[in-house]
Structures are given as C-alpha cells and as structure tokens.
C-alpha cells in the first residue's frame, strides 16, 4: 500500500459529473452505486442491449430499496435519473471522472481509453477498472498519463465496500485525490496501492485459491473445505467464491500472477481450477462450477 487515501483528501477536486464506459456486470454496478449516492453518471456502451441490461439491474436494485421502505417511488425515479444511458460521447466534455469498465482485453482498453481521452477536457480523470492489466502499461498510449489511474471495484459493486485506487508511475496526486474522493462519495472504502500484478487483494486471494486447489488435488472434499472456512468465519468458502468469480477469470488472473511472481505462483502441473475451466465448469455464469445452479 502506497499511502492511506486520507492523505490526499485536501487535494481533491470535486467530482460532480462522472461517466462509466461499459454497462456490463461492473459498469452497470458502478452506475447504480454512483446514482444511488447522488453523483450523476453517464453510462456508455457500444450495444443498446448492454445498456438495457445495465438499467434493468439498476432498476432491480432500487426496487429492492423501495420494497424495504428505504426509498419512495419519487426518490427511486430521482436516483434513476442520475444514470444517463448513451451510445455516444456527446456529453463527455463536462465529465470530471470517467471509469473505464469495458471487456478485459488490452487492445480494446487501449482503443477505448485513447478515444475517450480525445473527447474529455484536459483535467478529466480517467480510471480503469481492470483486474489484471498493468496501469503503467495502459498509460503508455495516453497523452495525459498524469490524469490516469486504476479504480478497481469488486463484484457485486453495491455490496463490496473496498475499492483499490491504483497509482501508476505517472499518476498525479490530484488524480489520486479525485478518485479517492469519488470512491468515498460512492460510500466505498478506497485504498491507494502501487501498480503490480494482482494489486493488493488478488495478491492475497490467489495464493489462497492456490492452496485450496492443492487440497482438492490431494483428495480433499471441496464442500467440506467450504464448510470449514465458513466456520472459521469467512462469509463463503473458496469453492463457492471461485464459482462467483468464474473459473475463466480465475485462470486468467492466476496466469498474470504467475508471470509476475513465478517463484510463488507458477506451477508445472495443471491445477484443479484449470481442470474445471477446461471442462467448461465456469461457475455461476454458466450454472455449473464446483456446485450446480439449475
Ligand atoms: P462485461 O463483459 O459484463 O461488460 C463489458 C461491457 O463492455 C459490455 O457491455 C460490452 O458491450 C462493453 N464494451 C465493449 N467494448 C466497449 C466500448 N468500446 N465502449 C463501451 N463499452 C464497450 O465485463 P465485466 O465483468 O463488467 O468487466 C469489465 C471490467 O471490469 C474488466 O476490465 C474486468 O476485468 C473488470 N472487473 C470485473 C470484475 C468481475 O467480477 N466481473 C471484478 C472487478 C473488475
């Protein structure tokens, strides 16, 4: 951890207008969270269907608050109006901070980040929600790398309090300050970390998944391991958590970690998680992982 976020508090420029690129699982969640806490957000995607799905999810989450009496129907309409769906960069000129949450592909992210940089003002902060791509690497193609950092949310965005703010070599204090301030305004707990494979959370989580995988490979019953970890006090065990994360995502992230920390993370033989992935047991996303979800 580089510095506690509070050290940047005095330097933050106000973040009043925001945007998110990508209306998928994460982009939709980020739009909901921002709107819910009162910061207007443009939600841009390249597909109309994606935007519809993002909005549907936001309506569902606000609807739950309505049912619980935490929101009136007027209040819900007002919060929903904080999300402005769009397929174009039309209104990006007034945006203070953009969160990029498009697919985890460096080429797509490069294209999207350079495109959005040409549409925003010189002071707009760009923050990527990438899980595995280096922030310094993504900054290479940008004209204003000082305005760029990582802003890594966890899934589901509305429930997970932590946000990793990743400081690249060229990221300015002002960009970190604004991103920390925005995370706080969203009701989240930001931490400021350096750019490295796995940032902070995945550097802890993936060795844990590796330890779990070895237990299974040595014959342990995954359900029993899950129960033990629940009794230990964790909200869910590793097998269930892997089903939530997705075996494809876990295999990819593990490769990035193994490349970054070969002495600790690389293994010659196939892991149980890889075997699951190769057998199309992706987890909750295709209704079959360690557990079944029919
Ligand atoms: P997703 O596939 O659900 O959504 C990606 C969205 O990006 C899609 O709606 C797609 O149409 C859109 N998109 C693609 N190209 C675009 C473009 N040029 N402009 C605008 N939108 C475009 O993916 P996701 O799970 O939401 O992941 C998004 C990012 O968040 C990735 O970088 C991922 O690594 C990261 N992330 C994901 C999770 C997770 O658990 N899903 C957690 C933390 C971070």
6 pLDDT band (50/70/90 cuts)?
low
> Per-residue pLDDT for 2 more than 50?
no
- Give CA 107 to chain center in angstroms: 18
46 pLDDT band (50/70/90 cuts)?
very high
| Residue with CA nearest ligand 1 atom 39 | 155
pLDDT digit string, tens, across residues 106-134? 999 999 999 999 999 999 999 999 999 99
Tokens of 68: 């619980």
The CATH class of the 201-286 domain is: mainly alpha
Mean model confidence pLDDT for the chain = 95
Q: Which of 248, 49, 18, 47 is nearest to 127 (CA)?
A: 18
pLDDT digit string, tens, across residues 133-171? 999 999 999 999 999 999 999 999 999 999 999 999 999
> Per-residue pLDDT for 26 more than 50?
yes
Cα–Cα distance measured from residue 98 to residue 116, given in angstroms and rounded to the nearest whole number: 9
The domain segmentation of the chain, as residue ranges, is 5-194, 201-286
The pLDDT of residue 9 is: 59
Q: Is 252 a catalytic residue?
A: no
User: Is the Cα dihedral 186, 191, 196, 197 positive or negative?
Assistant: negative
pLDDT digit string, tens, across residues 228-268? 999 999 999 999 999 999 999 999 999 999 999 999 999 99
Report the range of poorest mean pLDDT among 4-18, 82-96, 225-239. Answer: 4-18
Enumerate residues lining ligand 1, CB below 6 A: 21-27, 44-47, 50, 101-104, 108, 112, 129-131, 153-155
Counting from 1 in the atom list of ligand 1, the atom nearest the Cα of 23 is: 9
Counting from 1 in the atom list of ligand 1, the atom nearest the Cα of 246 is: 40
User: Which of 33, 103, 289 to mutate to test ligand 1, by most ligand atoms within 8 A of the CB atom?
Assistant: 103
pLDDT digit string, tens, across residues 171-216? 999 999 999 999 999 999 999 999 999 999 999 999 999 999 999 9
Q: What is the Å distance from ligand 1's center to 22 Cα? A: 6
Higher-confidence residue: 6 or 144? 144
The pLDDT of residue 12 is: 72
Fold of 5-194: Rossmann fold (3.40.50)
Angle between helices 238-245 and 222-232 (to 10 degrees): 100
């Amino acid at each position: 951890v580089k510095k506690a976020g509070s050290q940047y508090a005095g330097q933050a420029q106000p973040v009043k207008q925001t945007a998110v690129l990508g209306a998928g699982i994460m982009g939709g969640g980020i739009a909901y969270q921002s709107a819910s806490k009162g910061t207007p957000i443009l939600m841009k995607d390249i597909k109309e269907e994606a935007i519809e799905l993002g909005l549907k999810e936001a309506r569902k989450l606000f609807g739950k608050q309505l049912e619980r009496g935490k929101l009136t129907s007027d209040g819900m309409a007002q919060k929903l109006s904080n999300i402005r769906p769009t397929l174009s960069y039309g209104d990006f000129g007034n945006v203070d901070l953009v969160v990029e949450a498009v697919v985890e592909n460096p080429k797509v992210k490069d294209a999207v980040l350079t495109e959005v940089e040409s549409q925003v003002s010189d002071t707009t902060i760009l923050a990527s929600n990438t899980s595995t791509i280096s922030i310094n690497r993504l900054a290479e193609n940008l004209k204003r790398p000082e305005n760029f950092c990582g802003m890594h949310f966890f899934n589901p965005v509305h429930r997970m309090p932590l946000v990793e703010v990743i400081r690249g070599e060229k990221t300015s204090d002002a960009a970190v300050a604004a991103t920390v301030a925005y995370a706080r305004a969203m009701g989240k707990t930001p931490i400021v970390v350096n750019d490295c494979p796995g940032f902070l959370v995945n550097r802890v989580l993936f060795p844990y998944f590796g330890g779990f995988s070895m237990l299974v490979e040595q014959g342990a019953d995954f359900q029993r391991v899950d129960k033990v970890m629940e009794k230990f006090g964790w909200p869910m065990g590793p097998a269930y958590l892997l089903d939530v994360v997705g075996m494809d995502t876990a295999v990819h992230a593990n490769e990035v970690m193994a490349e970054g920390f070969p002495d600790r993370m690389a293994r010659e033989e196939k892991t149980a998680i890889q075997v699951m992935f190769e057998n199309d047991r992706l987890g909750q996303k295709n209704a079959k992982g360690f557990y079944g979800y029919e």
